[in-house]
Amino acid sequence: MVIQKEKEEKILKKACEISVEILKRLKDEIREGATPLHLDTQAGLLCKEYGVKPAFRGVQGYSFNTCISVNDVAVHGIPKNIAFKKGDLVSIDFGIIYKDIYTDHCWTWSIGEPTEKNRKLLDAGKEAVERAMMNAVVGKSAGDLGYVMEKVAKQSGFDTLKMFVGHGIGKTLHEDPEIRAFGNRGEGDELVDGMVICVECQVVDDIGSKVTIDNDGWSARTVHGGNSVMFEYMVLVRENTPIILTDTRDWSVVV
């Protein structure tokens, strides 16, 4: 989606405001003994409360409101009725539909203080995306963002998954351009003024960057059992400085 009218931008910003508020309220439900399925049920109730629809439900037959990935599940985690434990890394990927505009963003939390290695992983995942998204300005390319994400992850001793990508968003959940979490500067689609994109990556503490898919057909798990974190922001491309639409940069990664 490329924003061309002030009215469109206003609706987009309102959609993102509601989406962030719902995710914040879901965060308050994360604790030892709670389950991903409980959080997903709450997400559905909160969507009704705010008068919006969950963006993921119904996509390719998906039947949940969120994707909740725990520890070595990197992305697309099916919300299950398995209680969280102290030390778990919990990623909630969430989006809504508000006045025909889609949102999509993600955050990862540690339940209680993380181990030293998990803290390093969380910091690397957050930094990778936040540094990359500041390059979402006119004249830069998708490869410029991917280069930063991969570089930050590898400098911290981790890697990014290569088979899942960021993307454009707006009138549908997934649009052009494709924003990979790797690449070379100057390669890929050029970013233009008003383009709405999701900048995301899964940073993994695992050998290689492959996954296996669980029997549920969705949950993508690291091959060797290394933990994964995921952070994702919606960003509006502008001339000199991007507008961070789902601005959660001041959130803690510990609950």
Q: What is the pTM of this model?
A: 0.96
33 CB burial (10 A radius; 0-12, 13-18, 19+):
exposed
CA atoms lying within 13 Å on the CB side of residue 52 = 28
The reported pLDDT for the residue numbered 208 is: 74
Element (H, E) at 109: strand 105-110
CB 104 within 8 A of CB 232: yes
CATH, domain range 6-244: 3.90.230.10
The reported pLDDT for the residue numbered 26 is: 98
Nearest-angstrom CA–CA distance, 104 and 165: 13
Task: Check pLDDT > 80 for residue 209.
Answer: no
Q: How far is CA 115 from the centre of its chain?
A: 22
Task: Check pLDDT > 90 for residue 140.
Answer: yes
